[in-house]
Amino acid sequence: MYQPDRGVNSALKNPLPSQIGGTYRWFTGSLAYVLHRVTGLGLVFFIFFHILSVTKATSADPSHYDLMIRRMQEPDFKLGEIALYAALLYHGINGMRILLIDFVMVSTHRNKQLFWACVVITVILLIAGTIPLLLHMNVQPFFAETLPGGSN
């Protein structure tokens, strides 16, 4: 039988999610783990598709690159930029928290406080960095009619 580390009563009230009809109580450690993995996978996929799109745009024709840059300056890409910035912030700050817990602190009894400090720092930096992203207007080239898709 599985020996729970939180006590028998807690294990009976919160069975493992693999059990049929079971529920799982989210702890700060599991929340930090899931968020770290999701943001890491998101960043890996972003880097892959970013390199792929830039490579394809520059290898075919330079005008394709200009068209791609113009498309990425449209307002619907702002949400993606903000999500990317949030993922980078959380993943980086949580990575520093993990290093601190693994290599500096002797005991992990401050894990919950460090996680919430990580969240607060992430939110503060996200707000501070989102303001310039939202205020940045679309950059239009000086000679818009010379680019593909420009007004003729």
Q: Considering the domain boundaries, does residue 19 fall inside one?
A: no
pTM: 0.70
The pLDDT of residue 4 is 45
Mean pLDDT within 41-66: 86
Distance from C-alpha of 117 to C-alpha of 100, rounded to nearest angstrom: 13
The CATH number of whichever domain residue 75 belongs to comes to 1.20.1300.10
Which carries the bigger pLDDT value, residue 73 or residue 86?
86
Q: Considering the domain boundaries, does residue 122 fall inside one?
A: yes
How open is the CA angle 106-41-114, to the nearest 5 degrees? 25
Domain enclosing residue 69, as ranges = 29-137
Using DSSP's 3-state secondary structure scheme, residue 121 falls into: helix
pLDDT cut 90: percent of the chain above it: 32
The pLDDT of residue 104 is 84
The pLDDT of residue 45 is 95
The pLDDT of residue 22 is 54
Q: How confident is the model at residue 142 (pLDDT cuts 50, 70, 90)?
A: very low
- For residue 93, give every residue at least 6 positions away whose Cβ sits within 8 Å of its Cβ, in sequence order, or none: 118, 121, 122, 125
Rg of the chain in Å (alpha carbons): 23
Q: What is the pLDDT of residues 97-113, one digit of tens each?
A: 999 888 887 777 788 88
Q: How confident is the model at residue 149 (pLDDT cuts 50, 70, 90)?
A: low
Q: Considering the domain boundaries, does residue 150 fall inside one?
A: no
149 phi and psi angles, rounded to 5 deg: 85, 0
Mean pLDDT within 36-65: 88
Terminal CA-CA length for the chain: 74
In the chain, the number of structural domains is: 1
Q: Considering the domain boundaries, does residue 5 fall inside one?
A: no
**Alpha carbon 14 to its chain's center:** 29
Q: Considering the domain boundaries, does residue 94 fall inside one?
A: yes
Q: Considering the domain boundaries, does residue 88 fall inside one?
A: yes
Which carries the bigger pLDDT value, residue 11 or residue 38?
38
- For residue 126, give every residue at least 6 positions away whose Cβ sits within 8 Å of its Cβ, in sequence order, or none: 82, 85, 86, 89
Q: Considering the domain boundaries, does residue 3 fall inside one?
A: no
Query: Nearest-CA neighbor of 100 among 9, 39, 48, 32?
Result: 32
Q: Considering the domain boundaries, does residue 6 fall inside one?
A: no
